[in-house]
Structure formats: C-alpha cells, structure tokens
Chains A and B, each alone.
Chain A
Amino acid sequence: MNTTFQKITLRHPYLFALGLLVIALGVNFYLQPNLFEQRVLSGNLRIFLPLMILTAGQAIVIMGGGLDLSVGTMVSMVNAILVTWITRESTGAEIATAIAVGASAGMLAGLFNGLCVSYLRLQPIVTTYATSFIYAGVALWILPRPGGLMPSELTKFYRSNPAGIPLMIWVAALLILLWVGLRGTRYGRYMFAVGGQAEAAYATGVPVSLMRLSTYVIAGLMAAFAALALTLSTGTGDPRIGDAMTLPSIVAVVLGGTRLSGGQGGIAGSLIGVVILGTIRNIISFADVPTWWQTFVDASIIIVALAAPGLIRLIRRRQTQL
C-alpha cells in the first residue's frame, strides 16, 4: 500500500473535494457568467449556510462511526418552534428564549437518537429513520400549516456583511475553527478511534458508548442552528422545510472526503462538499435540466461512494490473481 498517499489523504481529506469544487465552479461560471458578482455570490452563500451547519453535525456523527437520518426533520421541528415562538412584536429577551428552546429541542432529539444507538445498541440507520418520523410529527403538531413571520431586523441581520464579509463566511470560519480545536483534544482522538475500530478503542479504555451518544447530541444541536439560519433566510415557517436536507447533508460529507464507515475525515471538506452540491444545483437549473436530476445526482454520489472501496478491493484482488 502506498504510505505517502495514505498519509496525505488521512491528514487532508478535503483535497479531492477542493479539486471537484474548482471543476464545478468552472462549469457554473460558464453557464452563469455573473456568478462571481458580489450580489449573486452572497445570495448563493446565504442559501448554502443552513446546509453547511447541518452538514457539520452530520460529519461528526459519521466520523464517529454512525449516521443520522433524522437531522432533516429536526430542522423542520426547530423551525416550527422558532416561528411559533417569535412574532414581529417579540422583544430581544423573547427571541433569545425561543432560540434557547429550539437549541434544547435539537439536543434532546439528538440525545434520544444517541441513547437508542449507543446504550440500546440499535442499528443507527433504522433508528434514526424511525425517529425522523417522530420529529416530523412534532413539527406538524406545533405548526400544522406553513406560516409565521420573522421580525425584519433578524432577517436583515442574516443578510448583513459584518466587516464587509458575508455572514456565511464568518460562520464557516467559526465552524472550522471549532473543529480544529475539537480535533486537537482527547475528544477528537476518541471520536476517530470509536469510528475507526470500536472494539480496539474499547479494549484501550475509550468510553465508546458515551462518545457515540455525544456525536448525536452535537448533530442535534447543529440541526437546531441550521434551523435558525434557515428560518432567518426564509423569514417564515414550514413544518416540512428541512425534511429534504438529510440526503444532501450525507452527500456533502462524502464529497468532502469523509468515509461513510467512519474513523477519518473532517469538517472543512464537508463544508466544501456543501458548496459543490449548491454549485451542481445551480448548474442543473441553468442548464435547463429538470430539477429532479438533483436528487438523482445526490443519490448517485452516495452509491458510488459506498461501492468505491469494494470495487477497488475487487480490482486489486483480480490483479494479484493474474
């Protein structure tokens, strides 16, 4: 096995995504020549932000060896909470309370997922698929039909460019900064160890169940923040608004160079993955292709990512036999 190649991909899992991003941006620019104008660019970036935050949480779960199919409906649920709590007349204190309640709801949902997966030892995919319907139900219960209006100061803040830089860049930088900090702690080491080889980690004394639990709680919290960003972006509420975000959040992580089986990867790549997905979405809409192609592309990326290691092994095996 090629050690240098392994070493580089382990330490910089986002390099592949970066290359892909350049290609996708090139195609997008060809189809949409005004892409890099300030107005278009920051409009695009605002649309990417909720998925970016959501993907950061998904990436943590996947690196820890799990998968969360309920993050999308968690976004719907927190969105429903925020728009029913906050009205145009809300005071600052009320808004702060609403955000705190939303964040707690996300963490509770994540905690429930985590308890099922780590302590009841249920299969993560089936468990979170099932719990996703609980959170979708809660969203519909709180907000039976779309509605609600955010105070304009809040939506204006979301569109602002603090210090001349779009808000999204600030948030992305913050996420990466937090990740770099986290990766350097014992928590980061444990997370990779649990995702990489849970039995070996257990034998070494890593608190495996607690680690798994915590990754789902983080994903729940990130889903709540994603819901906040989405609510500010649209200015209104919809009990199904986040449901379709689950698949893209997984695809973005995979595009970012994180293996679906866990134990390796990073946040920076996952965020680039979100931008790639958004760019592909732009390309599809500007190339006059029906929009359902987007879902087809998302699904294909996952299938290829899942099959790639097996295919590589098969090819290697064939070669050694000859």
Chain B
Amino acid sequence: MKVSLSAQNVVKRYGGVVALADGNLDVESGEVVAFLGANGSGKSTLSKIVTGVVAPDEGTVLLDGQPVTFPSPQTAKKAGVTAVYQELSLIPDMTVAENIWLGHEPLQFGLRVNKAEVRRRTEALLALFAGTYHESLQPDAPVGALPPDEKQLVEILKALSLEPRLMILDEATASLDGRQVNRLFELIADWKKRDMAIVFVSHRMDEIMRVADRATVLRNGRTIGSRVIAETTEQELVEMMIEAGEAVPHHREAIAAEGQPAGVRLSVRQLRTSVLQGIDLTVRDGELLGIGGLQGQGQADLLLAVFGAIPFSGEITLSGQNVHFTHPRQAMQQDVAFVPGDRANEGLLLRRSILENFQLPSWRKYGFPLKINSARADATTTADELSLVRESLDAPVSSLSGGNAQKVVIGKWLLRTPNLLLLNDPTKGVDVGAKGEFYNLLVELRQQGTAILFYSSDDDELLGLCDRVLVLHDGRITAKLSGESLTHAELVTASMGTMQENGT
C-alpha cells in the first residue's frame, strides 16, 4: 500500500524556547529521505512530532493527503508510522521475543500468548540480520545482557514487527558495526521495493550518501531545503547546515591579542572510562579550552572524570602534581570547580535561598557556629560582581530568571576562587541576554588566570569564546582546532564528515 507523509510549517516551543520554527518534511513510498542538521537544529523534535510523541503547536501533518493528528505514539503506530529511537524502549529483564512483541503478541484463544508463534516469528525477524550478531542473541535471551549493538538490532526488529508503512530510523546506526549497517542497508533497499517509506536520521555523512535518495536539511529549527543525493555533494550538504555570515559572539579576538598564557594547570594523559577511549589534553592558566562534537560523545564523562565523580584510568596532573580524585570533595579541595549542565537538578537547591545556594560549597570556611554575617557579606560581594538581579539574598532561587539562576550556579564556585573551572554545557536553556553576560564573566575569569575547560553543545559559543577546541567522537578526540582552523565548517565537518567507520 502506498503511503505519503508531509509535515508542513510545523512549529514547536518549549516554554520560551523555540525548538522548531518552520519544520517541513516530505516522504513517500519507496524512498529514503535523510534528515540532516547540526546539534539543536530541530531534527529530533520534528521526528517526534511525526510519530506522535510530541504534539506540535502550529502546522499540519498530512498522511496520504489527509490532515492527521497523533495524540500518542499508539495512534501513529496504528496509522502505520513508527520510529526506532536511540534511547532504547526495551525492558532489560524481559527476553528478546517478549520485548519485540510487547503489546501486539500473537494470542491463542484470544487470551494466552502463543509462545511457539512468538518464537517462530522472532526467529524469522532475527534471520534478517543472520550472521551479524553473536550466538547469545536468541529469542529467549534477556535483553539486559545484550551488548549495545544487539539491543539496537532488537529495537529495529521491534519497530519492524509492527509492519509499518513509514519508518523513522533516528540514529539507529550509531551503535551498529559495519556488517550490521551493511545488512540494514540491504534490508532498507528491500523495504523500499515493498513501498515502505523511510526517514533516515544520521550524523554519518558517508551513510547518508550511501543509503538516501534525498536529503532534507534543517538549521536553527527551519527546513532549509532538500537535495537529491545523486545530484549533490557532501560539501554542499555541510554548507547548507551552516548558516552563512552568521553573527557569533566575538570575544575571541580580544583574548588572542593578550599573548600566550602561562603555566600548565591541567594535563590529562590516556584518560579512559567506560565511554572515553584515551584522551590527552592540557589546559593552561588563563586558557579557555572548548570541547565540541555531537552530544553524548563522552564530553560529560571527561569533565566528570577530572572532577573525580566517575571512576577512570589514566594520568591526571593538576598544577604539576599527579592526582587521582575518587570523590568530588578531593577535587574541590584542590580548587577545581564543576558547573553542571542540568541546572535544576544538579546545580541548584531551587527552594532554598540565594544565600544558601551561594554558600553551599563554602560553609566550612565560616566555622562553628556559622559566622552568618561574614557569609552574607561575601555572598553580597559575589552577587554584586555578577550583577545578580535579586529581591534579597534570602529570596528562593526559584524566584530568579533563568539567566540569574545560572549566575548563582557559577557564583557559588567563584566564592571558592577556583583555579580550574569545568563547565558542562552551561548555557543550555538560558536566554540570549543572559548568555551575553555569562560570556563576559568567562572572559573576565580567564583574564584573572583561571583555566577553563568548557563543553558546549552550541557551536557558536565554542567558536566565539575558545582559544582551542577539541572535537570528541565515540570517546576519542577526532580533531584539534585552533586559530585559522577554528571555523564553523571545520567544526561541523570534524563532528560529522571525517568519521572513521565503526570497527567490528
């Protein structure tokens, strides 16, 4: 049965943030449309709208020419639209077969699950990927014990078991190895012949060039355009993803003029965690080192390992001394500060006062009983330095605007005068004005000689603020950009284009 889906002028806002400003997507039977865009361009939002996970604020979705609304993923599934997501929707304690058929198990007498039938159909599905997985992947194997690539296969088969007419593969190849990807692409070719429509979301340019018929590019929440793959180049697609002549916050020139900074503050050798595959880097006093790349490539792990919050192996030297922190407190005693990305959960006690939030890491300094007046005086000084807009220091943090709350997150560490500041995507969800003030603060700190390690999912921030940027992918550094090479094109290409094939 033929199918066509068309999303037109779709808008989605989260609070004040516009995730999708003008999303458009057309796909029909027998074609593979690749969906491309940098971090935060709105790809996932549009995929979620099409599959009913998220409801759009404006715009229309046409299925077979008829306007439809999907209030839940189930209604989309019934209409034949299904998705394979990266964040797995599998239940670890249940078996492969139970997971694949959960919710649409073949029944006996309309009551009991027909185990023989479930097993037979699961085997038939697994046979599609025969030879690309370990023997342990059996219909009755518990999913929790499977390696990530096989979990991803199960996820794909689960979507396939619904016999969809339109399938969205959202980064479905990210954890698959080369053979599995090849097999998937053969299957996609076969599905195309059977009139299935496929939307392929991937960060791997080579895969897009291989499998897609068309590419639709998003940038800043807007669909920029579509290209037929046979008539375009990787170069052209990357350029479409980058906004030409875009205004970036240019703090960088001002910094570069001040000459080379002094001693090495932090040096990392062969850092390994469950995600990181051996990272080497150094940060000097007064240097702002950026960490870039696609989200979830080990950037957070890197910061957490340096801060002693997760176990790691490798060598870390701080101010010339070998250190191996096993608890954040040890790092704090060495004047290392960590600003988490999840402000509401990790950075602030929302219901407590500004004063308490400021002083939480520093109460020790104020003795017993607490010298509350001197604590208040210090907090006032910092609050003034940050030009924190506040009613009083006793007002709860939840009464502050997003940008001002962010100042408290950083301010509480400034009271300890850190010499190494670790920032984990600190401007996520912060409005533009507050971002500007935050940038000024960073520049000031580095002028005072603080070494800063700065992960951001916003490429413009990295370009505008950092002296050097390391691009991470799959837990490895894939590019070191600085000076002339630190451009938007280089940054995007390093995260997307020049990726090695995933080893088997």
Size bin of chain A's contact surface: 20 to 34
Q: Is the CB–CB distance between A185 and B145 below 8 Å?
A: no
B145 near A1 with CB under 8 A, answer: yes
**Bound state CA distance, A186 and B107, in angstroms?**
8
A39 at interface (Cβ–Cβ under 8 A)? no
The answer to whether B140 and A7 have CB atoms under 8 Å apart is: yes
Knowing A189-B113, A193-B91, A317-B311, say if A204 contacts B141 (CB, 8 Å).
no
When the two chains form their complex, are residues A10 and B93 in contact, meaning their CB atoms are under 8 A apart? yes
Known interface pairs A3-B141, A205-B74. Does A185 touch B91 (Cβ–Cβ under 8 Å)?
Answer: no
Report whether A192 and B111 are in contact in the complex, using a CB–CB cutoff of 8 Å: no
* Among B77, B88, B111, contact of A205 (Cβ-Cβ < 8 Å): B77
Kindly list chain B residues whose C-beta atoms are within 8 Å of the C-beta of A190.
102-103
Q: A6 to B144, Cβ gap below 8 A?
A: yes
Q: With an 8 A cutoff between CB atoms, is A264 at the interface?
A: yes
Is there a chain B Cβ closer than 8 Å to A201's Cβ? yes
Q: What is the CA–CA distance of A201 and B102 in the complex, to the nearest angstrom?
A: 8
B94 at the interface (CB under 8 A from A): yes
Is A57 part of the binding interface, using a Cβ–Cβ cutoff of 8 Å? no
User: Which B residues are in CB contact (< 8 Å) with A3?
Assistant: 136, 141-142, 145
Contact assessment for B89 and A204 in the assembled complex, using a CB-CB cutoff below 8 Å: yes
Question: CB < 8 Å: which of B88, B98, B105, B141 contacts A7?
Answer: B141
Task: Give CA–CA (A205, B111) in the complex, Å.
Answer: 18
Mask, B70-107, CB within 8 Å of A = 1, is 00111001000000010011111111001000110101
Interchain CB contact (< 8 A) of B93 among A186, A192, A206, A320: A192
When A204-B102, A206-B102 are in contact, do A6 and B73 touch as well, CB less than 8 Å?
no
Which label, helix, strand, loop or mixed, suits the secondary structure of the B interface? loop
| Residues of A with C-beta under 8 A to B145 | 1-3, 6-7
Does A295 touch B at the CB level, under 8 Å? no
- Which of A188, A200, A321 has most chain B Cβ within 10 Å? A200
Task: Give the distance to chain B from A167, nearest Cβ to Cβ, in Å.
Answer: 29
Q: Report chain A residues within 8 Å CB of B107.
A: 186
Cβ 8 A contact of B112, one of A1, A184, A193: A184
Q: Find out whether the CB atom of B113 lies under 8 angstroms from the CB atom of A6.
A: no
Closest chain A residue to B53, Cβ basis: A203
Question: CB of A263 within 8 A of chain B?
Answer: yes
Identify A203's interface contact among B73, B115, B142, B144, CB under 8 A: B73
Q: Contact: A206 with B92, CB < 8 Å? A: no
Taking the nearest CB of chain A, how far is it from the CB of B83, in angstroms? 10
A263 & B91 in contact (Cβ 8 Å cutoff):
yes
A148 within 8 A of B: no
Top 6 closest A-B pairs, CB basis? Answer: A196-B91, A203-B89, A205-B74, A196-B93, A200-B89, A263-B93
Residues of B within 8 A of A (CB): 53, 72-74, 77, 85, 88-95, 98, 102-103, 105, 107, 111-113, 115, 136, 140-142, 144-145, 158, 311, 313
User: Chain A: residues with CB nearer than 8 A to chain B?
Assistant: 1-3, 6-7, 10, 181, 184-186, 188-190, 192-193, 196-197, 200-201, 203-206, 263-264, 317, 320-321
Query: What are 22 sample pairs from A and B whose C-beta atoms fall under 8 A apart?
Result: A1-B144, A3-B145, A6-B142, A6-B144, A7-B140, A7-B142, A181-B112, A185-B112, A186-B113, A188-B113, A189-B98, A189-B113, A190-B103, A192-B94, A193-B102, A200-B88, A200-B90, A205-B72, A205-B74, A206-B103, A317-B311, A321-B313
